[in-house]
Amino acid sequence: MKIKNISAPIFHNLYRNKHYQFVPKHEPCNPDSISLLQDFVNKYSKVFVLTGAGVSTESGLPDYRSKDVGLYDRSPNRPVLFKDFVSKIEVRKRYWARNFAGWKLFSSAQPNEIHKFLSLWEQKGGIHWLVTQNVDRLHHKAGSQRITELHGTSYLVKCLSCSNLFSRDLFQVILRELNPDFNVESTEIAPDADVHLNPELTKSFNVPDCEKCGGILKPDVVFFGENVPKEKVFELYEKVEKSDAVLVLGSSLEAWYMLNLMLRVKCPPPGVMQKSGVEAGVILII
Ligand SMILES: [Zn+2]
């Protein structure tokens, strides 16, 4: 399906919008690179799109690795490890207190031009499937439906014992009832809704167990040290094999399964387009 008519004004907009805040700092986008992307969009009709934290920075959510603005470059804080979360109550108290303080800011983030474009492209029939490493639900907010959240979502809470699943917004109400005097809000946020708080503040934070079985409650997010479910990865292998091209946006592709997905594309050797705009091919990485 030709989507030339919808993509041209959108890319033109991205290039020209003076109010568009580019994060992290970089040189102005090269018009040749935009043309290259435009040609790619026009040429392929069953594109597999993979997005990482870089697509959400314009929505006010930082990524992990960008110089100066990424979480790892600004702060010594690191995401909680799965084994620590499940084995130590003090870690769960700290995690949920920080997540509670950051939820209002994190959940108010809105999709930016990239999310909106991908949703529109899907409506026009150009996207076979979209997989995101992000847990921020911004693709959903923009209207994307053919999507897999590889690392889950911060918008759901899950019991590790009985798989009871419910909304994070509801959990915010429960946490508020259990912690009526905890009045800390943050203006700084991490890609997973974490914020930094004085450790003393978090020690007395009350965290409930699952009301059905007493199990541990955890956001429905794949933590560091935890594996993406195999079934989910196998489903994506099928999706990518039925696609005719791959577009990677805002991901450093450091996770091994991302590289595996790329290697399963049955097509000519991939080209790579980066900020310097070197080559174009079946796989575009931006
Ligand atoms: Zn349970």
Please give the domain boundaries of the chain with CATH numbers for all domains.
22-284 (3.40.50.1220)
pLDDT digits over 44-70, tens only? 888 999 898 888 888 888 776 666 656
Percentage above 90 pLDDT, the chain: 41
40 alpha carbon – ligand 1 mean position (Å): 47
Q: Which of 183-187, 190-194, 201-205 has the lowest mean pLDDT?
A: 190-194
Residue 90 has pLDDT above 90, yes or no: yes
125 alpha carbon – ligand 1 mean position (Å): 40
Question: Which pLDDT score, from 0 to 100, does residue 87 have?
Answer: 97
CA angle 123, 128, 129 (to 5 degrees): 95
156 alpha carbon – ligand 1 mean position (Å): 14
Q: Extract the annotated binding site for Zn(2+).
A: 159, 162, 210, 213
Confidence of residue 244 (pLDDT cuts 50, 70, 90): confident
Q: Answer yes or no: 12 catalytic.
A: no
pTM exceeds 0.75, yes or no? yes
What does each C-alpha distance from 12 to 33, 57, 174, 254 come to in angstroms?
A: 12, 20, 46, 31
- Mean pLDDT for 98-105 is 90
Question: Which pLDDT score, from 0 to 100, does residue 23 have?
Answer: 56
User: 44-66 b/e with 16+ CB inside 10 Å = b?
Assistant: bbebbbbbbbbbbbbbebbbbbb
- Mean pLDDT for 144-163 is 96
151 alpha carbon – ligand 1 mean position (Å): 21
Helix (H) or strand (E) holding 246: strand 245-249
Question: Which pLDDT score, from 0 to 100, does residue 276 have?
Answer: 31
Q: Which residue has the higher pLDDT, 52 or 147?
A: 147
Spell out which residues have Cβ within 5 A of ligand 1, the ion.
159, 161-162, 164, 210, 212-213, 215
208 alpha carbon – ligand 1 mean position (Å): 11
Phi, psi angle pair for 71, to nearest 5°:
-55, -45
- Mean pLDDT for 140-146 is 98
> Which residue of the set 19, 140, 151, 196 is catalytic?
151
pLDDT digits over 27-47, tens only? 777 788 788 888 888 888 889
Confidence of residue 268 (pLDDT cuts 50, 70, 90): very low
CA–CA separation, 228 vs 232, rounded Å?
A: 7
Residue 105 has pLDDT above 50, yes or no: yes
